[in-house]
Structure 1
Amino acid sequence: MRQRFVNTPIMYAFGMLAMMIPSQAFSTFYSYYYVDKLGLGLGLATLARTIFLIWDAVNQPLFGYWSDRTKSKYGRRRPWIFVAIPLFMLSFIMVFSPPENMSEMGLFTWFLIALIFYEAVATVIWVNYGALFAELFRGDRVRAKASAVQQGFQIVALLIGTALTPILFNAMGFSNMAIVYAVTFAVFMLICLRFVKEDPEASAAPQPKLKEAFKETLSNKPFWLINLANSFAQTVNGLLSATIPFYAKYVLKIPEEQNTILLASVFVSVIPLVGVWYWLLRRMDPVKGWRLSFIAYALSVIPLWFGTGLINGVIAGVIVGFGLAGFLVSPPMVNSNIIDMDAEKTGSRREGIYTAVSGFIIRSSGLISALAFLIVGVIFGYESGDNPGPNPEKTFRYLISVVPLILLTVSIIISYFVKIERKTENAS
């Protein structure tokens, strides 16, 4: 019975469900929690994120390199994930459990330490989980299906992590909410690992040393262009998630308990739309499909500018769902083709280092998002929930619509410079 489900898209996708529930709750509400609820200044919050990125620049590629070179009877990736599970649970709870009555500097220190701890452990899991995709699923059609299933699970996780989170923290507080999500993460990740079996040949293949590995990766032009374009689009994902609670409060002017309805409008609509994008992408060249997803996403953020209440907000949210669905499905396909090309050239499967460097480029989008938040906040005078400035409504209209449109336009332009020529056509 177990053998039927080994290395199937559904079982692999449980790992995405496991990671994205707490990750989405984190990305959507950590700024809101620390800045608007606890009163941490926006400048200090941005500084903490910047310090983290310096650390992240070091650990991401190294974790990928070490993962590629790991040799054990349990595989290259699974041992890393098993070790990281309890540490991730602890770090996530720590983020949402600062001691009471702290000074602003004390709160900043706690936030910085918790952020570095959380992101380091999350890096270990994301690098190793992401590296499994290109190894387990070979061929454009298979990858399109696996990506669609994975992103379907991701949307369920996004829905839980955003729409359910306000209900939980209003009912039991942020700390208890974090405990619930930490346990949920462990259960789903263990289900995923139970049904993942790595390819022993990939583990046995020779691996280049550190200098050669990074030289080969850093000289791969299509890889850099793809991930640079993805980074700007990923910034939009993070910016929308982080801005929606503020958008609901200051632009739509709806009660906090209606946040769940607004968030659900985005993520419930994505679930069937992932199927639409799967149907489109399996019939297209991966690069062209990937580019089309950027165009759709850019157009979809425009209606958010015109939101005036819950109904308008929900309609705009559904439209955004279409653009978001395309961007969620398409990147794994183009990134996997890059890894295949590298394997043809070097003779070794180096999913770990490519996933890690890609992850760092993508995660650097957090700094772009934080800087956009800070710059727009300074322009319009927003500092925190205690001092929202003279025009918080315009602040968050720009952050949720104009800034994403600009960022996605950059992604579209970069995508036209990407050319992937494969020596062999992947099997279907």
Structure 2
Amino acid sequence: MTSSTSSKWQHLRIDYLPYITGWFGNFIVNNALLTMLIYRYDPGIPNDYNLSILLPSALVGIAIMISRIAGAFVQPVIGYFSDRFWSPWGKRRPFILASLLPLIGGFILLFNPPNNLNQTTYFIYLVTMLWVFYVGMASYHVPYLAWLPTLAKSPEGRVKLSTQIGIFGLIGATIGGIIAPWLTDSYGFQGMGIAISLIGVITLAMPLLEKEEYSPSKGKYPNFKTTLTAAFTNRTFCIYMITMILAWMVISIISVIPTFLVIALLKREVSFAAVINTIIVGSALAGFTLVLPLAQKYGKKLVFQGSLIWVGLGMIAMACGRFWWQDSLIPWLILSIIANLALASFFSLPNAMLSDIIDQDAEQQGMGREAIFFGTRGLLIQFSQGAGSFLTGLILSFGKTPDNPWGVQIAFLSAGILSLAAAFVLRPYAIKK
């Protein structure tokens, strides 16, 4: 193989496969939960499994919101203790191992609730088990992502590793959304829960095979309040976080809108939303092939900023499509491919950018605080996802039918404006590499 060919394929080599596999497992479990949870508690009557309605779907949605917000507050705390912790086995691996029991245990119990409870008790049970699950998820996410800056120490290595994590996560989410309904149909909810849990515990535990190199921190570590305050007084981090809050609101809108695009603008059956979702995922996966070379050439900030502008203009074009070609299918499909191509940057560059911020902070403060930054980001992103979902529901109330699709169009327009606003906010971001 020639040196040029070797160089061409170098960026595709996976250096930390056990570590990356953990993110794959995380998204399999999480998306399986999101795909099947509402149906488990509110399957409608009649249904194929002769299940009774345990809770109305509205109450399930409220339970999810309550538990996610409660779980989100845990993330900075976990980050603080993970940064302070040290053992011969490392700083991050003990937390990852400890997270598996609540994460997997919560998942199994959510799909196997007790029988013959009243609605109030089922609601309390659901909120409690979801909180256990999301605390386990937070206990996994924060140390896992905080490990990234020490695994990949160069800017190029971080973009590469973050890109590979994004690809594996997107594939995991797709697989989780596909196999959970199939397993439920074939083996029931109990069989699905056991199968997904086995897949989850194996893949989620894979990062434990990676070698973790850490030494005890020198000097006295500041208290939680001081550490959290220092993160919010870091100007670069604040610019980054405002950008990410807006970007994740965009992702929340894009996650909800395909079903209503199909019904209101394409005027097709709801099942066609699977095709649109496949196009979105496929387009994002194709975009991953461009992220690393572009980031190496132009820097992470410019590539992410350009991606925000690309998605923003694409969403605005989607909002206007009804005026240009009504419900003609091919133009809509082509625009969906083009508009979502830059979503790859949303799933790859932010982790690498935050790693750079952490390095800058460590130079200024004299100690590494990786997990407190990732934990704080996790808290704010949870709120931004909730705000995005709430905003989408509010906007869709203006119309989501073929006769009145204005809510769908306004949702696309809102996503576009938020994405362009995120690109504008990122302008003073100081780290160019």
State the TM-score, normalized to the length of structure 1. Answer: 0.82
Residue 261 of structure 1 is aligned with which of 249, 254, 275? 275
Deviations 1:335-385 (A, max 9, x none): 1111001110111111111110011111212221231143235444x8xxx
1:319 aligns with 338
User: SS state of the match for residue 86, structure 2?
Assistant: coil
Counterpart in the other structure of 1:339: 358
Q: 1:248 to 1:208 in 2, by over 3 A?
A: same
**Aligned equivalent of 1:159:** 174
CA–CA separation in structure 1 for the residues paired with 2:72 and 2:102: 20
Output the CA distance in 1 between the equivalents of 2:156 and 2:364.
23
Counterpart in the other structure of 2:213: 199
Q: Of 222, 225, 229, which residue of structure 1 is paired with 2:243?
A: 229
Contact 1:9–1:149 (Cα < 8 Å) also in 2: no
- Match status 1:22 vs 2:22: no
- Show the counterpart of 1:414: 425
**Contact 1:40/1:107, CA 8 A, preserved across alignment:** no
Match for residue 107 of structure 2 among 80, 92, 108: 92
- Relative to structure 1, the CA distance from residue 243 to residue 25 in structure 2 (aligned partners, 3 Å threshold; closer, same or farther) is farther
Q: Deviations over 1:103-161 (max 9, x none)?
A: 66555444422332221111000001010011111121111211222222122113213
Letter of the aligned partner of 2:212 in structure 1?
E
Going from structure 1 to structure 2, the CA distance change for 1:239 and 1:337 (only over 3 Å counts) comes to same
Unpaired stretches in structure 1, ≥5 consecutive residues: 1-6, 383-388
Within 5 Å, which residues of 2 pair with 1:23-102? 23-27=30-34, 30=37, 40=56, 42=58, 44=59, 47-52=62-67, 54-98=69-113
Distance 1:139 1:365, change over 3 A: same
**Aligned partner of residue 330 in structure 1, secondary structure:** helix
Tell me the SS of whatever aligns to 1:418. coil
Q: Is the 8 A contact 1:28 1:241 kept in 2?
A: no
Distance across 1 between alignment mates of 2:268 and 2:364: 56
- How far apart are the structure 2 equivalents of 1:309 and 1:28? 30
Partner of 1:385: none
Q: Aligned partners of 1:245 and 1:103: how far apart in 2?
A: 33
Question: What corresponds to 1:403 in structure 2?
Answer: 414
Q: Secondary structure at 2:341's aligned position in 1? A: helix
Which residue does the alignment assign to 1:369?
Answer: 388
- Give the whole-Å Cα distance in 2 for the aligned partners of 1:89 and 1:268: 29
- Alignment partners' CA distance in 1, 2:17 and 2:94: 21
Query: 1:46, 1:370 within 8 Å by CA — same for their partners in 2?
Result: no
Question: In terms of Rg, which structure is larger?
Answer: 2
Partner amino acid, structure 2, of 1:330: L
2:233 is aligned to: 219
After superposing the two structures, state which structure 1 stretch, 265-274 or 370-379, moved more: 370-379
Contact 1:131–1:355 (CA under 8 A) maintained in structure 2: yes
Residues 252, 388 of structure 2: 8 Å contact kept: yes
Distance across 2 between alignment mates of 1:165 and 1:231: 30
Q: Name the aligned partner's letter for residue 244 of structure 1.
A: P
Q: 2: CA distance between counterparts of 1:345 and 1:245? A: 48
Q: CA deviation at 1:13?
A: 1.1
Identity of aligned residues (%): 23
Alpha-carbon distance in 2 for matches of 1:104, 1:173: 22
Whether the 8 Å contact between 1:297 and 1:327 is mirrored in structure 2 is no
Q: Secondary structure at the match of 2:342?
A: helix
Kindly tell me the number of residue pairs found equivalent between the two proteins.
405
Do the aligned residues in 2 keep the contact of 1:13 with 1:150 (CA within 8 Å)?
yes
SS of 1:71's equivalent in the other structure is coil
Q: Is the Cα–Cα contact under 8 Å of residues 135 and 351 in structure 1 kept in the other structure?
A: no
- Tell me the residue number matched to 2:252: 238
CA distance in 1, matches of 2:275, 2:373: 38
Partner of 1:141: 156
Shift, 1:36, TM fit: 8.3
- Which residue is equivalent to 2:289? 275
Amino acid in structure 2 at the alignment position of 1:268: G
Residues 95 and 341 from structure 1, CA distance in 2 versus in 1: closer, same or farther, beyond 3 angstroms? same
CA distance in 2, matches of 1:156, 1:316: 22
Change (3 A) 1:116 1:268: same
Structure 2: gaps spanning 5 or more residues: 1-13, 45-52
User: Does the 8 A contact of 1:339 with 1:351 survive in 2?
Assistant: yes
Q: What is the root-mean-square deviation of aligned Cα atoms in Å? A: 3.3
Q: Distance in 2 between matches of 1:140 and 1:290?
A: 14
1:249-290 deviation digits (Å, cap 9, x = unpaired): 565455565544332222133223201111111112222222
- Give the corresponding residue for 1:187: 202
Counterparts of 2:396 and 2:43, CA distance in 1 = 13
Residues 293 and 62 of structure 1, relative CA distance in 2, 3 Å threshold: same
Per-residue deviation, 1:320: 4.2
1:359 to 350, 358, 378: 378
Equivalent position of 1:328 in the other structure: 347
CA distance in structure 2 between the partners assigned to 1:249 and 1:291 by the alignment: 32
Classify the secondary structure of the residue corresponding to 2:73. Answer: helix
Equivalent residue of 2:91, what SS?
coil
**Distance in 2, Cα, partners of 1:338 & 1:253:** 46
Q: TM-score, normalised by structure 2?
A: 0.81
3-state secondary structure, aligned to 2:89: coil
